[in-house]
Amino acid sequence: MDNLNYQPSFQKALFLDRDGIINVDHGYVSKIKDFEFVEGIFDLVKLFSKTGYLIFIVTNQSGIGRGYYSEEDFSRLTQWMKKKFQENGIQIEGIYYCPHAPDANCNCRKPKTGMIEEALKSYPLDLSASWVIGDKQSDIDLADAAHIGHSIAIGNRKIENAEYNFSSINECKRFLEENPAIINA
Ligand SMILES: O=P(O)(O)OC[C@@H](O)[C@H]1O[C@@H](OP(=O)(O)O)[C@@H](O)[C@@H](O)[C@@H]1O
Ligand SMILES: [Mg+2]
Ligand SMILES: [Zn+2]
């Protein structure tokens, strides 16, 4: 009865913010023509995927709740974006989004943890060995609230509770290439 002893193996995850990390945040981007990939993002994500991290996207899309664009617009752009990752050799495991306006008081708008809880329903994840990469205080606060072990903030303003701060995705990528043990531990 070996199968009674079966334990799922817990996998490491990379939770990527979207606007400001994957694409330049031009403000409530909803159209393919406005979606500009951030330089170096594919190479950075590959550093994680090639060492066995599952890749997720967690994004606040209050533009839906504000009525700026529809759920269908978001879904169309998301399918296109996912295909671009695939063309660059990267499998995005799951994409979670909060469609609510900030005043909706939902449980999924970062820094609330609803999107991480959704991921945990489908994947056995080792959150303590997982990473968040984001550009806002709410991304880093999500890491703290969900007990995700590691966090990286990208941008010119330092986020105090982030484990690492870099001014750009390329700077982050270079640092991790030079210090591979940090994410291979
Ligand atoms: O960075 P992620 O989580 O992927 O997405 C953020 C976006 O939903 C938008 O979030 C808005 O903030 P409010 O949602 O209005 O506070 C603004 O920052 C927009 O410029 C931005 O596009
Ligand atoms: Mg962002
Ligand atoms: Zn929500």
Indicate whether residue 69 lines ligand 1 (CB < 6 A): no
- Residue 3 pLDDT greater than 90, yes or no: no
Counting from 1 in the atom list of ligand 1, the atom nearest the Cα of 22 is 4
Q: What is the pLDDT of residue 67?
A: 98
Q: Is 19 helix (H, G, I), strand (E, B) or coil?
A: strand
Strand partners, 134: 153
Nearest-5° angle of CA 135, CA 19, CA 27? 110
- Residue 4 pLDDT greater than 90, yes or no: no
Reported pTM: 0.95
Mean pLDDT taken over the chain: 96
Asked whether 56 and 13 are in contact (CB, 8 A), the reply is: yes
Q: Specify the residue for token string 């996912």.
A: 82
Q: What is the pLDDT of residue 185?
A: 74
Confidence of residue 5 (pLDDT cuts 50, 70, 90): low
- The model's pLDDT over 47-104, given as tens digits with 9 standing for 90+, comes to 999 999 999 999 999 999 999 999 999 999 999 999 999 999 999 999 999 999 999 9
The class that CATH gives domain 9-184 is alpha beta
Closest CA to 14 of 38, 46, 39, 40: 46
Asked whether 97 and 136 are in contact (CB, 8 A), the reply is: no
> What average pLDDT does this structure show over 137-157?
98
Closest protein CA for atom 13 of ligand 1: 62
- Residue 1 pLDDT greater than 60, yes or no: no
What is the predicted ipTM?
A: 0.93
Q: Specify the residue for token string 């870099």.
A: 166
Q: What is the pLDDT of residue 134?
A: 98
Closest CA to 153 of 177, 134, 131, 132: 134
> What average pLDDT does this structure show over 6-26?
92
Spacing, Cα 100 to ligand 3 middle (Å): 4
DSSP strands (E only) in the chain? 13-16, 54-60, 94-98, 131-134, 150-154, 164-166
- The model's pLDDT over 92-136, given as tens digits with 9 standing for 90+, comes to 999 999 999 999 999 999 999 999 999 999 999 999 999 999 999
Domain residue extents for the chain = 9-184
Q: 2, 19, 34, 139: which one is catalytic?
A: 19
Strand order in the sheet with 13-16: 94-98, 54-60, 13-16, 131-134, 150-154, 164-166
